[in-house]
Structures are given as structure tokens and as C-alpha cells.
Chain A
């Protein structure tokens, strides 16, 4: 418990004790979490209540800390990919992508267009996956139960696509340093095409389900306001910022992985409440569907991996006939490859905001330091301001609208 919290609560009468005078503040400390269902993970928030109004909120994080950054220093460059999956378990491919981009920046590796477009497609599918889980659980928190089933129906399709590409539903590790883990499977165009043609109408379905629900509109409109200046000051990124009227999207401002070749709009609203954040994410789903359609139609031909022997694992067939391929395979698997000394910071627009990896290499086959600037860490930091002077019931809606993943916060 922080000093601030202790000072604040020092003068309050204990539970059951009568306050000195009838006008003295009667406050109560409420411990929300770590097992509270609407904290979506293990987040503890200490609330200082005056009646039903939250006067002070203090998040306590770290329950899901697994020491990923320390572990990165023990693994070879390629092995770290599997750890990045586990940072944000709803946006695995975004984390794979940012790690691969960061190391490729250090290696100054050129990635073939097919791999870049494929990465964009996978990252956008990952955004759909994340937003669908968010919408379903957020609506569930507020009491609209059926939306959850609709969202998870589509999420299942996305996970099946992930499984088809990588063999894994969640921990895909599909985007590797130098390209992709596997060749795109036979018939992927058909599966992705079928899904993405039907998807925009599904988004309309969610919109209709929620917007025609008077309880939903009354519980979200005008709730959870936080000024844009506060957000920028506290490190909030992603849909939260865009719902506050700032059109800032890293995919547009600092394009990576050939995002500049795609035609899409930045979703933004100006109301800056829970409802605006919901509208922004719905619009982002529609824009993601647009990007995926473009990727599907214009997918360039060619290799899915960079021409970089010694970094990219050789083909299985070549290993049976060529000595060099076998040597490279042995070297990569046992020792790993070396990355020139230096430091880079690379960020991408993940479903929750800016993911930035800061990687320091000392020229060996293991990273010297990997720092993950995760969006949820910045977003959760803003909770005390977001929750101050709101009702407890509204805090559930406000918390849900932040869309944090605690694995992402604690790493």
C-alpha cells in the first residue's frame, strides 16, 4: 500500500466504529480483485469509497510477472520468439511481429514482399481476435450476455486460421526473424477469403445487438471520461487515445512491414467515453477486414523467408543434399546466429496500443537486454485518474473499455 493511500485513509474511522461527528467522512476501503471477474486477469485495485463513489483508486500489479525479460537474455535470438507469444496472449502475432522487426533492424535484413504482406494479414487477424475477445467480455461485464457467444463464434474462425497456418491456436510463434515459420498452407486463400467476406456483416450484427440495447447505451454513453492531456501524460496509447479525438496510429505515422501500401482509415471519435471506445474498436475491426481483403487480393508471389542463410533455417529437402544447408541448420539450432552489436527501438500499433521493443545486442548469439514497452502497462497506469470520482458500477464499464491484458502489463 502506498504512502498516498495510507495518508489518505489514516483519519477515517475503522469499520463498525462510529465517526466522531455526523458530518465526518464515512469512507470505506474496498479491495477489488485480484480475482474480480471484470478485472480480466489478476489485477488488484484498492478503492477508497465514499458511499458508492470512488475517491481514490490504486492499482496493484505484478501478479502475472513471469520474468520474460530476464528469460530473453538466456535464450538465443530465434528462441525468444516463443517468449514474445506469451507476453500478450490475445495479440501473439503482434508481439511476434515487433520482435522480428526489431531484430531485423539490427541485422539490416531485407524481407521479401510476400512475407511482409503475410505478416500484415496475420497481425490484422490478431487484431480481430483481440477486439472480438474484448467486445465479448466487455459486453458480458455490462450485462449483455449474448454478444459474447457471437464474438466467440468468429474468434473461433480466426483461431482456426491461426492453427491452419502455424499449427497452434494461440501461441503461434508464426512470425520469425527473417520471415515466417512455415510456408503458407495450401488452400489458405479460400479459408481466409470465406471468413473475411462474411466478417463485415458480423460486425454489423454486433453493432445492432448492442446499439439497440438501451441498457448498453445508458451504461456506456458519458461514462469513463478522461482528458486527452491526462492520457498523453500518463502514457495511454491505442484505441483509448483515438476515442479521445487524436488521430494517431503508428501504422500510418511510422509505417512498418509495408503498411503504407494498404488503404485504410484511422478510426477515431471525439466523445472520449466508454461508448466512443467501443465505436472505435468496431470501426477498427471493419478497417482490419479491409486490410485483410487487400492483402488477400494483392498478395505478392515469391518466397516467405529472406534469403539469409545462417539466419533462416534451410529447407528440409536441401539439408538432405547440400552440405552447407546441413551446417547452417546445425549452427542455427545449436549456437544460434550472431547479431551485430547495437541498440534499436521498434514500435508497432498493436490492438491495445503501442508495443515497442528496445533490444540491446552485444554481438553474441543471445540478446543482451530486451525491454518490452507494452501498451497495457501504460494504460493501467491511467486507472487512478480514470476511476476517480466515478460510481463503482461505472468503474466496471470504464475498466473494460481500457482493454488491458495483465500478462502484457506484468510480463
Chain B
């Protein structure tokens, strides 16, 4: 694997993880799909490392049926100083299947995907406030309180 976007490679539990530069993610994915034959995007998800910085990791699981190989690509993205949602480029132009996975990450973590065709909430109601899978989001939500006031 030889691409300028890859900054670090880790092997653990028989799995390979590549840490990539978020600015070049679309380019890297295109390379992985067409040159390295990773024809399937298995899933996209994210991990919140609150309160550490960079706070979020966007995780891409790729699979090559031809080579029977799986890899994981990770991008670390930090929160923005102005408090707005962090952003990364959408890879829907590489795999159309990224569409719903990116919407789910947006819905659950509040990570924006630039150039996504329809970045709206997918699992939560459209008028929901907050991003449930963030670590600073309480398990029972903000809306309801079970304590006596």
C-alpha cells in the first residue's frame, strides 16, 4: 500500500489499520477501490474520544472479494474552534453505498460530510437535538429527566 495520504500503519489482532490524512480521503478511497481492488465498502462508522483531541475518528472498513482481504482506514478529525460540526469529504462518489453510512455517522456523531447528496438524519427523528453516540450525550437523552426537581 503506497499512497501519500497514509500517515501510519498499524497491525493488531491480525488486522491492518491505516491512518489517513482526512484532506485526501476521497483520493485515497479511489486509489484503494480501483488500484488495490477493494471493491466493497463494508461500513463507515466513527469513534468519539471525548475529551481527547483530535476528538473523532471516522472508520472505514473495506473489503476486497478478489483478494479476500479486509482493511480499516481511519481519519482523525478534530473539533472546530467555532463549535461547529467537524467535517470530512464524503466518499459517496467512490462507493454509492457510503450514502447511508455517512448519514448514520452524521446522525449519531454530528460529523458533516462535504459533497454528500442528502445529508439528513437517518435513524433519529428529523427534529432531534444533539448527537446520541457522542460521549458527552447522556444515555437517557436531554429531553427527559428522571430525577425529581
Residues of A whose CB lies within 8 Å of any CB of B are 2-4, 61-62, 65, 67, 69-71, 74, 105-106, 108, 232-235, 246, 248, 253-254, 342-345, 347, 354, 356, 358, 360, 368-369, 371, 373, 377-378, 381, 410-411
Contact = CB atoms under 8 A, between A and B. Distances in A.
A67 B45 CA distance: 15
A255 to B, nearest CB: 11
A345 B70 contact: yes
Nearest to B71: A345
Contacts of B12: 342-343
Interface stretch (B1-9, B19-27, B77-85, B119-127): B119-127
B114 to A, nearest CB: 15
Query: Across chains A and B, which 8 residue pairs bring their CB atoms closest together, nearest first?
Result: A235-B97, A373-B43, A371-B45, A62-B123, A65-B123, A234-B97, A2-B118, A381-B100
Given A235-B43, A343-B17, A354-B42, 6 more contacts: A69-B133, A108-B13, A234-B96, A345-B70, A371-B45, A411-B123
B95 A233 contact: yes
Given A233-B96, A381-B100, A369 B42 contact: no
A234 B42 CA distance: 10
Nearest to B41: A235
B123 A235 contact: no
Contacts, number: 89
A235 B40 contact: yes
B72 interface: yes
B149 interface: no
Contacts of B120: 2
13 contacts: A3-B118, A4-B118, A61-B123, A62-B125, A70-B132, A70-B137, A234-B96, A342-B13, A345-B61, A347-B70, A369-B48, A373-B43, A381-B99
Nearest to A2: B118
Nearest to A381: B100
B123 A378 contact: no
Interface in B63-82: 65, 68, 70, 72
A233 B17 CA distance: 22
Nearest to A234: B97
Contact of A74 (B72, B124, B125, B139): B139
A4 B97 contact: no
Contact of A71 (B13, B42, B137, B139): B139
Nearest to A380: B100
A377 B43 CA distance: 10
Contacts of A2: 118, 120
A98 B122 CA distance: 25
B72 A345 contact: yes
Nearest to B47: A369
Interface string B39-55: 11111010110000000
Contact of B59 (A67, A232, A358, A377): A358
Interface of B: 12-13, 15, 17, 39-43, 45, 47-48, 59, 61, 65, 68, 70, 72, 95-97, 99-101, 104, 108, 117-118, 120-125, 132-133, 137, 139
Nearest to B117: A4
A381 B45 contact: no
Central interface residue in A4, A69, A253, by most chain B CB within 10 Å: A69
B40 A232 contact: yes
A381 B96 CA distance: 10
Contacts of A74: 139
Nearest to A69: B133
B65 A373 contact: no
B139 A232 contact: no
Contacts of B123: 61-62, 65, 410-411
A381 to B, nearest CB: 5
B30 to A, nearest CB: 14
A62 B99 contact: no
Contact of B42 (A69, A233, A253, A356): A356
Q: Which of B95, B100, B120, B121 has the most CB of A within 10 A?
A: B100
A138 B15 CA distance: 39
A293 B17 CA distance: 39
B47 A65 contact: no
Nearest to B133: A70
Nearest to A106: B13
A410 B108 CA distance: 12
B61 A373 contact: yes
Contacts of B118: 2-4
Contact of B39 (A70, A232, A369): A232
Contacts of A358: 43, 45, 59, 61
Contacts of A368: 47
Nearest to A236: B97
Given A369-B47, A371-B45, A345 B15 contact: yes
Contacts of B72: 343, 345
Contacts of B68: 253-254
B73 to A, nearest CB: 12
